[in-house]
Structure 1
Amino acid sequence: MGRDTERFWNSQFDTTAAIPDFAAWQDRHEALSARADAFGAPQRIPTGPHDAQVVWRSRLGRPTHALVFIHGGGWKSGCADDFAFAAETAAASDATFYNIDYRLMPSARMPDLVEDVVNACQIVMTEADTVLLTGHSAGAHLALEASARLSDPPLAIVAISGIYDLDPLRYAPMQDELHLTEREVLDYSPQRHAGDIRCPVHLRTGADETFEFRRQAARMYDAVDAAGGTATIEFTENHHHSSLVAELADDNSVLSHLIQNLLA
C-alpha cells in the first residue's frame, strides 16, 4: 500500500486531526457527562465474565421503554462513562437508560464486540418492551450489527456518525491496531447484509464530517432501501464528528427530539 493511499484514509478516519479543536470537544464531553452525575450512580449489570462486559442501567423514566447507547472509540478505546451525557435524552424521553460497555480490539476480535453488545441488548429486552438502540461512530456500527443478530428487533436504531463498511479501515493506519481480517470485513459490515436489519434505521451524520463518513451514511441508506427496509438520513449542518453526538445532552436539540418522538 502506497503512502498516498495511507495518508488519504488517515485523513478520513483520524477525527483527532479532522476536528481542529478535538481536545476541547473531549473536555466538553467529559463536562457534559459529569453533569449527568445528577441522575445518580447507574446500576452495574454484568453481561459476561470480563470486567468490560457490562451494561449500566439508570432508571430515569418508564421501565417499559429503554434507550440503549453504544459508545464509539474506533473499536479499540473509550467506555460507556465517556458518553453518560446521553442520559439527558433518556430522561427527556421518560425512558430507562442503558449504557453499554464491551471488550475492545485488538485483544478481543470483532465477533467478541458484537457478541457483547448483543448480550447486553438481550438483557435490556427482558426488562423493557420498547427498546431503541443508538450508537456513535464505532457504536453506530455495533448497533446495526447487534440488531441483525437479536432474536427480536428493536423499535429502531439511531446511528450517529457511523462506519458501515469496514473494508476501507484496512488501508488506514488504525489497521495496525485493529488487524481486521477479510472474514471480519465480510461478516461484520452492515452495509453488506442490510437485509438482516429488521427495524427502521435513522442515519445522522454531521455535514462537516469527512467525506468518507458522509459517503458511508449515504451508502448505508441505499443498502437498507435496496433491501426493502426503512431508513432516513440527515446530514446535520454545522456539526462534526464530536459535536453531533453531544446533542444528546440537550433535550431541545433536533437529535434528541428524534429519539424522544420515537420513544413517545
Structure 2
Amino acid sequence: MTDYPITDYDDAYANGAHIPGAADFPPRWTAMAESFRDELKNAGRARLDLAYGPASRNRFDLFLPEGTPKGLAVFVHGGYWKAFDKSVWSHLASGPLAHGYAVAMPSYTLCPDNSISGIAREIAAAIGAAAQEVTGPIRLTGHSAGGQLVTRMISGTPLLPAEVLSRIVGVTSISGVHDLRPLMRTEMNDILNTDAAEAQTESPVLLAPLAPIPVMAWVGADERPEFVRQNRALYEMWRGFETPMQICEEAGKHHFDVIDGLSDPEHPLCRAFLGLEG
C-alpha cells in the first residue's frame, strides 16, 4: 500500500514492480493483437495505418464490424505517454465490434519527442480523422495515460472541432492519470518534461467539462493506491458539474488486466463503455 503523504513517488506510480509476472503481459498483448489483426484483415474488416497527421506515428487502425457501424469507438493506449503504440492493443476492439461499433486505435508521438499537451492535440486530430470515416455517435476510452487523454478531449481548452465534440455520447477512463502534478516528482518526468503550467492545462481534475457527456471512471481495485485515488479524484471533481458520472473499482483487477473486459462483449466494462445496461 502507498502511505500518505507520499515519500516515494516513483514507487507510488510503479505498476510492474507490484504485479506478479508483469513482464509476460506485453508479449502476450502483442501476440493477441497480431492474431486479431490478421483475422480482421482476412475478413476485409481492417483498415490499417490510416494517416491523421504528418508525423510517422500519426496513424490509426480502423476495425469494422459486420454490416453498417452503429457508431465509432476510440481506444487510446497508455504507457505513461512514453511507451507502446496501437499495434499492442488491437484485440481489445473485439468487444465493441461484436456490438456493431467500428473501432479506431491511434498511435501518437511519444515523449520526449512530444509533450503531453502535444499528444493531446494529436489524439484530437486522430479522433477527427476517424470521425470522418464513420458516422454516428462517438465513444471514447483510454487506459492509464490514455484515460487522461480521453477525458482531456471533453474538458479545458477545446481541442476537438465542435461538430466532433457534439457527437461524443460517452467517455470511459480506465485507470486514468487525471492529475499530472504528482508525476512532476517522479524520475519519469525527465522524459515527460511536464511543468506546473502544463499540469494545470492538461490535468482533467483541474479542468471543467465542456459538455454534460456521461463519464465512467473505472479502475482495478487491486491497482496501486495512487491509481485508485486518481480515479476517485476525477469522479469527485466532475460530479460537481452537470456531467453524469459513474465510478467502478473492479474487484480482483490490477493495472495490467483491468483492460481485459473491453475484449469481452458481455463484460461490464465493455457494456459500460457502450452505454448498455446491465
Q: 1:51 aligns with which of 40, 49, 56?
A: 56
Q: 2:191 aligns with which of 164, 177, 189?
A: 177
Asked whether the 8 Å contact 1:6–1:172 carries over to 2, the reply is no
Mapped to 2, the partners of 1:67 and 1:29 lie a distance apart of 20
Q: 2:111 aligns with which of 99, 105, 108?
A: 105
Q: 1:77 aligns with which of 58, 79, 83?
A: 83
Q: How does 1:168-247 map to 2 (within 5 A)?
A: 168-196=182-210, 198-247=212-261
Partner in structure 1 of residue 140 of structure 2: 133
Partner in structure 1 of residue 127 of structure 2: 121
Report the residue type matching 2:137 in the other structure: T
Mapped to 2, the partners of 1:140 and 1:156 lie a distance apart of 13
Give CA-to-partner distance per residue, 1:68-92, whole Å, 9 cap, x none.
1101010011101111111111211
Asked whether the 8 Å contact 1:105–1:178 carries over to 2, the reply is yes
| Count of matched residue positions in the alignment of Structure 1 and Structure 2 | 260
Secondary structure (helix, strand or coil) at the match of 2:226 reads helix
Structure 1 position 176, deviation (Å): 1.7
Question: Identity of aligned pairs, percent?
Answer: 25
Aligned CA RMSD, in angstroms, stands at: 2.0
- TM-score under structure 1 length normalisation: 0.92
Mapped to 2, the partners of 1:121 and 1:218 lie a distance apart of 26
Asked whether the 8 Å contact 2:94–2:263 carries over to 1, the reply is yes
Mapped to 1, the partners of 2:200 and 2:276 lie a distance apart of 31
Asked whether the 8 Å contact 1:164–1:190 carries over to 2, the reply is yes
Report the residue type matching 1:28 in the other structure: R
For structure 1, which segment, 211-220 or 25-34, has the greater mean C-alpha deviation from structure 2 after superposition?
A: 25-34
Structure 2: unaligned runs, 5 residues or longer: none
Structure in which a larger fraction of residues adopt helix: 1
Report the residue type matching 1:50 in the other structure: A
Secondary structure (helix, strand or coil) at the match of 1:10 reads helix
Report the residue type matching 1:22 in the other structure: A
Mapped to 1, the partners of 2:198 and 2:231 lie a distance apart of 20
Secondary structure (helix, strand or coil) at the match of 1:226 reads coil
Mapped to 1, the partners of 2:223 and 2:30 lie a distance apart of 21
Mapped to 1, the partners of 2:262 and 2:209 lie a distance apart of 28
Asked whether the 8 Å contact 1:88–1:249 carries over to 2, the reply is yes
Partner in structure 2 of residue 8 of structure 1: 8
Structure 1: unaligned runs, 5 residues or longer: none
- TM-score under structure 2 length normalisation: 0.87
